[in-house]
Each structure stands twice: as C-alpha cells, then as structure tokens.
Amino acid sequence: MKTLNDLNDGQIAKIGSYKRTQGVSRRLMELGLMPGVTVRFIKSAPLGDPIALDVGGRQLSLRREDAAQIIVQPV
Amino acid sequence: MPKLANNGVSSDRLRRVALIGNPNTGKSTLFNCLTGLRQKVGNYSGVTVQKKTGITLIGTERVEILDLPGTYSLAATSPDERVVVDALRGEVENLDRPDIVLCIVDATNLQRNLFLAFQIGQLGVPMVLALNYWDTAQKRNIAIDIEGLKEKLGIPIVPISASRAEGITELKDAVIQALDEKPKLISPTWPESIEEAISGVRSELPEPVSARIDDAALMRGIFESDEEIFKRAGASGLETQEALEISKKALFKGGLNPANAEAVLLYRHIKEHVEPCISARDSSRIAGSESIDSLLTHKVWGLIAFLALMYLVFQSVYSWAGPFMDLIDMGKSVVQDTVSNVLSGWPMIESLVADGIIEGVGAVVIFLPQIMILFFFISLLEDTGYMSRAAFLMDKLFSWCGLSGKSFVPLLSSYACAIPGVMATRTIQDSKARLVTILVAPFMSCSARLPVYVLMIGAFIEPRYGAAVAGAVLFLMHFVGLLVAMPFAYLMNKYILKTPPQPFLLELPSYQIPKVRDVMLKMYSQGKEFVVNAGTVIFAITIIIWALLYFPRTESVEIETREAFVSEIAAQNGWTEEFALASIHEDEAIVAALDHKVSSAFIEQSWMGRIGKTVQPVFAGAGFDWKITVGVIASFPAREVIISTLGIIYSLGGDVDEEAGDLREAMASQKWQSGPKAGMPIFTIPVVIALMVFFALCQQCGATLAVIAQETSWRWAALSFGFMTILAWLASIGINQVGSWF
Ligand SMILES: Nc1nc2c(ncn2[C@@H]2O[C@H](COP(=O)(O)OP(=O)(O)OP(=O)(O)O)[C@@H](O)[C@H]2O)c(=O)[nH]1
Ligand SMILES: [Mg+2]
C-alpha cells in the first residue's frame, strides 16, 4: 500500500483513501485532495520535509506526517 | 441625507456587501478598487487578517463594502477564518449581517474556489460571483462558459481583473441589482441521508432549542460536528452529544463518512455541474513557477539563495536606515535646542517638553526607517510569491519545536520590531502554535537592542579585541534570543500547552512581478500602524520615565553640587572660592561640566535614582552598580532609553548617542566607589556581556506587551514579561559569575 509519501519527484498518482479521517484530512479534502483526484509529487523541501504537490494546477505543500495518511495509486 | 432603500422606505443604514473568497484571490485588490482605500495586498495567503470596511458609490447610492480575510471553508481553523464566519452570521461587533456576499473566485481554479461559494450559498445569503484573474485565465486559454454557469448557479457572474481594474463597472451594476433582487445560489440536491440527519437531530433536540436553529445552521453543525452551534441555541452538553451521534448514524447509513461528507458531496456536485462549463486546463503557469523553483527550492542552491537573500535584507535594513535615523536624530536635537532656548525661563516645562515630549516623539519616529525598509523587503518577497517558498524551506527547522514554516515570517519581522511580528502571527491557523510564536517573537533581536550592543561593543570589545571580534560578537548577539527561544517553544509545546502536532498546509502561489503600488502601500500602512499602536504607548512611557527621572527636584541639590564643584576647582588651582566662583562662568567647558554634574546629582536623588539604589542589590550578582541599574530600569518601557539615561547619569547630558566617544570613555572610567571591589572598573568584560545578554533576553518593551495583550490576553502578556525578565536576570548573573572565574 503506497502513500503520498512514497512517491518520487515528478511521479503522478491517484488519491485512494485516507487512513485517518480526523484532523488535517478534512482541510486537505476541502482543498481538492479528494479520493479519485490525480496529483503530481513535485519535490520535497531541501531538508526533506515538507513536500510540494501539484493539485489541479496549484502547488500545495504539506508535511510528510500528513502525507503518510493518504493512500495513493501511482499511474 | 437619508437614503431611499429598495422598498422605498427611507433608511439611514447603508446596504452592505461582504467580500468573501479563498486566500489570495484578490479580495483586497478589489476592495481598494471599489472604495479607493488602501488595504494591504500581497501574493501570499493570509495578507488580510482583520475585517475592514469602506464605502463605494454605485450610481447615486453609497454602499458599504467589507473586506475579509481569505478562507478555504466555513469550517474555520484559525482566528482569521473565524472572522469570516462571524461576519456572515452577523456576529461581528457593530456590523449587521451583510445584505449580499460578493464571492471572489480565482477563474483559473474554479472548482476549488466554488467549494466555499456553495457553502455560503447554503446559508441562504444572496450572492454575486466575481471571476477574478480573468486576464490570467485568458492568457492561459481557459474558456469558461459564463452563460452556462449562470444557469447552473442561478446568480449573476461577472468576469473581472481586479489588479487592472477591468470589469468593475459591470460588477457594480450587478451588485446594485443584486441588492434589490437578492439572487440565491442554487444549492446541490442533498442525498436523503442528509435530510434524515436533519430531521433526526431536530427530533432529538428540545422544541425551543430546535426552533432557534435554522436548517442552514443545523447543516453546518452536522457537517462540522460543531457542538457550538447547538450549545449557543441552548442545548445541554448531553443533548448536543446525542444530536451529533444521531446525525453521524444517519450519514453512515447513507454511505457517507461524517468527517468528509461535505467535501465529497460538494466536489461531486461541482464535478457534475460546474466542470462541463470549463474548457481544458493548461498548466503553463505552474510550469513557469516550477522552473523558477528548480533553483529557489533546490536542495543546495535553494538554501544558499535563501541565506543570501536574508543576509541582503538585513544588511540593507541596517545600512539604509542609518542615514535616515541620523537625520531624525539631528532633527530632534535641533527642535530640542530651539525649544530649550524659548522655554529656558521655565526649567520644568523646558525639561518636560524637550526631554519628555520631544524625546518621546523622537523615540517613536526613530524606528520608522527600519520598520519601513523591512516591510519594503517583506512585501517584495510576499508579492513575488517567494515568502511561501521561504516557509516551505524553513518548515523543518521549526517543526521540531512545535512551530511551522508559517512562524518564519512573523519571527523574521520581529528582528526589526516585535510589534509587526506579533501581528503577523494572525496567519497561523493553529491557535497554540500561534500563541507560542507570539511568546517567542520578543526574543528575536529587535532593532531597539542594536544601539545597546553597539554602545557596549564599541566601548569595551572593539578597543580590546579589534574590529573583527567586535563584528562577530554583534552577529552572535542576534542569535542569543533565537537560541533561547527554540527550546522555550519546545518546552511550552510539550509541557505547558501539550500541543498535538499541528497540520501544516501551505499554498505556493505562482510567481509574479511585484507591483510598486502594493509594495509602497504596505510600507506606508505598517509604518502608520506602528505609530498609532505602539507609538502612543512608547510616547506615554517616555513621559512617565521622564517624570521619574525629574522629580523630586529639590533646589538644595543644585546648590550643594555647585558649592562642591566650586571648592573642587578652587582646590585644584589654588584659588580662593570667590575667585573660582567668578571664573567658572568665563569658561564654557567648565559651565557645561557643572551643568552635567548638576543633572547627574538630580538623577541620583530622583525617584528613579532612589529606585535604582534600592534595587541594585538584585543586580549585584550580575555586576551592575546603581547607575547601570537605573539604566536597566528606565529602559523597561523601551530598551533604547538606556543610552540617553546613561548619558545623563554619567554627566554628559542626555543628547548622546551610542557612537558618542565621550559616553564610551565615561563608562570605561567608571569605578566602584566602595565595597570589596572599590577602585576596580565596573565595566569588566563579563559585566559587559551580562548586560548585553540581559538586554537580549529581557522583555523591555511596553509596546510589545500591549500588542501581545491585544492579540492574546493580559495573562499571556504578564507571563511573557515575568518569564523573560527572570530569564534575563538569571542569565546575566550566570554570565558574570562564570565570567569572573577567568
Ligand atoms: N494577474 C492578476 N493578479 C491579480 C488580480 N487580482 C489580484 N491580483 C494579485 O493577486 C495577489 C493577491 O491579491 P490580494 O488582494 O492581496 O488577495 P486577497 O484575496 O485579499 O488575499 P488574502 O487577504 O491573503 O486572503 C496580489 O499580488 C494582486 O496584485 C487579477 O485580476 N489579475
Ligand atoms: Mg486581502
């Protein structure tokens, strides 16, 4: 089971589901990180954390800890 | 003249339009365009943190416009987002519910932006939709079928470009028409499970409570699992719990997860009804930004560029502000001299005006150059879009102690002045992270500490160890606070607030070329805010300190000092006292020396002098004598006061600055008058460092305390004051004690 965290720079994946539905996940979904949406892993910050994603043409940054909650399917 | 409202009834109340939208969609830009006011704008989420109202003229009607912070959702997670919800509910002080909402969406990102629009529509507020960034949308060949969209949404839709003031007339027309017609957004058809949840909750709540909550509010309560909505309507804790339990069950039964039901349903609706009106997206904008980012957030070059940029910023803040500060200082002296001449007949008034009032105004104005130059850079970094990248780069460094990259901007600003820094924390979502950032901000080495460092280093470090060491010490002093602040934040989070790790979500906007007008505006408004908020406090405090230093003023002190001085001169030269008395008036230097001796004597027996002598034992461990103690106490309201206070105490007159050679000499020649160390110099290297560290750590700024209290509560301001002062005191004693062993 891959999470957002396991993607490489530039890799594209489809969002599956969330491991936890409390906390930050609500806001992530409101921002468009919905199950079924395709995202692109852009890169991680120089110090390894956080990461930058392309969500529907927007760059969004979140921490690895939160990214680890999102199960994805690489395409 | 009373206005004629739409129903023909005359009314004094202006009709209200609230600007609502996601962060960074151009609300403030549009607000400025409509009202001619100058609200801050910037290419960074969370530029607007407070509501602001203005008036626009449409035809002959004056309409009130309300600018609000940006929010992604009505499920607010931070104080600035809460402002939006409160404004919509009509719960903001002195503000009724808006008559209509003008929802600003980013035309290049309709899907996500309409999420919020649908939430607001569900509340039943009439709405007009402005599709902003129309210029960018066209450049990127994004075609939006506006007629089709109008049909789907059922409200007026106007494409605009706020930054180019395009489409504003059409928008105004749509607004005035909507104020009369009150068009409502067509809400999605909710699945049955939602209806069931609503009726289930209603049957659970007691009748009067249920009657007090309308369906829209109830739905928000269900979607957000928000207990507040029920409790406000008078439901007990148990009733609230049970109502929420029922709604959750109903949602589960319908195959929905209560935690994300709203997001799932709304995005499904947007996909089915809105997306068909938008033609294929291209991503050239993000591609452009990404190629800039391939350098600026690069693993190696990104960090180097960041450090270089920060170095450049601070270097410029210091070097560019210098000449302006000198100019202000000179201006102040000129005014003081003039006033002194005019008022020389009334010594008390003269002193109040020159040393109290003018000094107080000067103390405020002197900070303006640095604050404005710093904000010039901050707004430049914000407007280009770099600021969010800085937060992205720095987040890791802050996350271990419970802060986030978003703390970076406030802490950076605090290096100029903690006041804008504390205010900038309003963009931090997590309330505890925000609190910790506020408490940590005053540890950053603000520009008011600089004069103290320059004085001490110039007087004691540079002559002994050379310029290279002096520069290094000055540099290090700027990190003392930071080094203490990080562990402090960690401990606060871990043991006092017990903060769960806070979510960190950051949008990285596309890069753009900064607009001169926006940058100038921000400089101006920050400067103004500082003068109005902090300036008044600094001013008031300067006057209080003046009074403590001036009173009581017994004439006998002057006579005694004069007599002692005359006999000293007489003894030195072998004159009679009469001859000495006559001749000292011939020599201007001697007259000045006598004057300074007298002021010094006055200070010694002033309230402040007495306090200094009483309190001195507390600072004995740090090696401070009563004179330094007076300097330290006098600078509690504002650190920089120490320079002029020391100047007066050391009989040089108050108009010395940190570069003044004679102040340095006077300090270097200070010796203990009595006690075990009699005859030894007071300012040893450990004492000098102890004093600098004391200033680095101590909360000596009344204005910052006032702002902390305003942003949190007096309790936290008091805690900040107590903690920092004790820490500074312990550190200065520790340094002097340890330093004295060598
Ligand atoms: N190209 C283009 N840029 C725009 C337009 N409208 C606003 N901007 C820019 O977008 C940025 C954000 O504008 P603001 O007015 O600060 O946005 P806001 O919605 O008030 O942002 P917050 O207060 O942070 O929620 C600024 O740099 C504006 O110059 C537009 O129509 N076209
Ligand atoms: Mg704004």
- State how far the Cα of B283 lies from the Cα of B153, in Å rounded to an integer: 26
* Predicted pLDDT of residue B129: 96
Handedness of CA B697, B698, B704, B706 (dihedral sign): positive
| CA distance readout (Å), B239 to B211, B221, B227, B327 | 15, 13, 10, 67
List the residue whose alpha carbon is closest to atom 23 of ligand 1: B48
B168-213 pLDDT, tens digit each: 999 999 999 999 999 999 999 999 999 999 998 898 888 888 888 8
Contact B65, B55 (CB under 8 A): yes
Q: What is the mean pLDDT of residues B281-291?
A: 67
CA-based nearest residue in chain A for residue B306: A46
* Predicted pLDDT of residue B47: 66
In angstroms, how far is the first alpha carbon of chain A from the final one? 14
Q: Which atom of ligand 1 is nearest to the CA of B21?
A: 19
Query: What phi, psi does B34 have (nearest 5°)?
Result: -75, -40
A38-72 pLDDT, tens digit each: 999 999 999 988 999 998 888 999 999 889 989 99
- State how far the Cα of A42 lies from the Cα of A11, in Å rounded to an integer: 8
- For A:29-68, CB contacts with B below 8 A are 29-32, 34-35, 42-43, 45-50, 52, 54, 56-63, 65-66
- Report the domain count for chain A: 1
What ipTM does the predicted assembly reach? Answer: 0.95
pLDDT at B79 over 80: no
* Predicted pLDDT of residue B724: 94
B639-682 pLDDT, tens digit each: 877 877 777 777 666 666 666 667 778 788 888 877 777 778 88
Q: Which of A21, A31, A48 sits opposite B259 (nearest CB)?
A: A21
* Predicted pLDDT of residue B22: 92
> Coil, strand, or helix at residue B711?
helix
B497-552 pLDDT, tens digit each: 776 655 678 889 989 898 888 888 878 877 787 777 667 766 777 788 788 888 88
pLDDT at B331 over 50: yes
* Predicted pLDDT of residue B654: 61
Pocket-testing residue among B24, B158, B383, ligand 1, by greatest number of atoms within 8 A of Cβ: B24
* Predicted pLDDT of residue B2: 42
Chain A, chain B: beta-carbon pairs less than 8 Å apart: 120
- State how far the Cα of B113 lies from the Cα of B25, in Å rounded to an integer: 9
B430-488 pLDDT, tens digit each: 778 888 999 999 999 887 787 788 888 888 888 888 888 888 888 888 889 889 999 99
pTM to 2 decimals? 0.77
Instruction: Tell me the average pLDDT of chain B.
Output: 84
* Predicted pLDDT of residue B8: 41
- Identify which of B385, B447, B439, B384 has the alpha carbon closest to the alpha carbon of residue B413: B447
| CA distance readout (Å), B253 to B199, B219, B264 | 14, 17, 15
CATH value at residue A19: 2.30.30.90
CA B112 – ligand 2 centroid, Å: 18
Instruction: Provide the b/e sequence for B100-116 (b: ≥16 CB within 10 Å).
Output: bbbbbbbbbbbbbbbbb
Quick one: pLDDT band at residue B359, thresholds 50, 70, 90?
confident
* Predicted pLDDT of residue B4: 43
pLDDT at B609 over 70: yes
| CA distance readout (Å), B576 to B566, B567, B568 | 9, 8, 11
B189 vs B286: which has the higher pLDDT: B189
Quick one: pLDDT band at residue B282, thresholds 50, 70, 90?
low
Share in percent of chain A as helix, strand, coil (round to 5): 20, 40, 40
Strand partners for B144: B278
Please check whether residue B602 touches A, CB under 8 A: no
Quick one: pLDDT band at residue B5, thresholds 50, 70, 90?
very low
**Domain boundaries, position A50:** 2-74
A15-31 pLDDT, tens digit each: 988 887 666 778 888 88
pLDDT at B305 over 70: yes
pLDDT at B10 over 60: no
Q: What is the mean pLDDT of residues B241-269?
A: 89
Q: What percentage of chain B carries pLDDT values higher than 70?
A: 91
Q: Which of B109, B396, B503 sits opposite A47 (nearest CB)?
A: B396
CA B69 – ligand 2 centroid, Å: 6
B318 vs B646: which has the higher pLDDT: B646
Q: Which of B260, B283, B396 sits opposite A49 (nearest CB)?
A: B396
